[in-house]
Homo-oligomer: A and B are copies of this chain.
Amino acid sequence: MRAKQDKIGRRGGQGELELLRQIRSRTARAAANGVRLGIGDDCALLSPRPSEELAVTTDLSIAGRHFRLDWHPPEVVGHRVLARGLSDIAAMGARPVAAFLSLGLPRELTVSTGRRRAWIERFYDGLLALADAHKTLLAGGDLAESPVALADIVLVGAVPRGRALLRSGAQPGDLLYVTGSLGGAAGGLARLGTLSAAPNNSHREPVIPKKMQPLLAAHLFPQPRVAQGLWLQQRGLATAALDLSDGLSTDLAHLCEESKVAAEVDAHALPVHPTATLDQALHGGEDYELLFTVPPTARLPRAIAGVPVTRIGCILRRRPSNPAIMLVTPEGSQPLEPHGWEHFC
């Protein structure tokens, strides 16, 4: 997308140069809120308001580990790559400003054959649709030939100075909340795995039957909770927050570690996704919901920007002799050990 991205173009001839031009023109159309200079120079230039600081995150997705070319259509890969980054921005209570994408692709994924559009074009369809929905400009990146498909996404968000939601502010007595529902991504992934008969990691595109798609939506098209994170930040309600990328048991352990507290989760209260098991809700990754804490006196609505929020437990004082997280069930309490997401390998 910058000059360096001409490399594939130079080698590949006019077809791919044309593709890069198309990407550039598609991204130039997007709203440029806070982006003074996008694709085309050595760097992009971001101009936050003087009262803002910038939140930056990077997420690397590699075929065979974070996605599979034989399981995930290209639009889904593009959506999921950007959703990972946007979810980190949401977890800080920031507004997304710009994304940068480094893409490494086998040659065959960059060329169109006959009437079939190239994999890379459809990948951008998925990525740019989600970017548009969150007013995020694709402001730069890099493109190179690679033996394995990979995408590294960088997201930059803006947040008023000193107001970002951190993992480190939870206090004993705070209440523990989650947006949306849990386990849907893991449930969908388990179903998706039963569909594929293609050999592992082949480039053959998957066919997902229409009637299956609603059951898989939480996995295929996770929705980063940007509006919900902003809502919490603007009202100063949350004492700590993070996004559920590795699974509740793992991510809650991160929150407890950074805040130096313990936590109790009420199994009965968990908003388990209709397609998921309790185990998937506790340990399944990639739901990209927000996990956050509020003081006991805070009053929360039932839904924030259209997404339900559910109280699932509370924050306790940490005692070295006790487990960091306890799961409360009708049969009694038991330690909840981190047992998060292991992807495909």
Write the residues of chain A forming the contact surface with B, with a CB cutoff of 8 angstroms. Answer: 2-4, 6-7, 10-11, 36-37, 40-48, 50-51, 53-60, 62, 64-66, 88-89, 91-92, 94, 98, 100-104, 139-148, 150, 152, 154-157, 159, 161, 164, 166-168, 242-243, 245-246, 250-251, 254, 258, 340, 342-343, 345
Contacts and interface: CB of A to CB of B under 8 A. Distances in A.
Contact of A167 (B41, B47, B144): B41
Contact of A89 (B43, B156, B242): B43
Given A53-B47, A246-B3, A100 B150 contact: no
B3 A43 contact: no
Given A146-B62, A340-B10, A55 B48 contact: no
B58 A168 contact: no
- Stoichiometry, copies per complex: 2
B150 A92 contact: no
Contacts of A139: 56
Nearest to A258: B40
Contacts of A51: 50
A245 B4 contact: yes
A144 B66 contact: yes
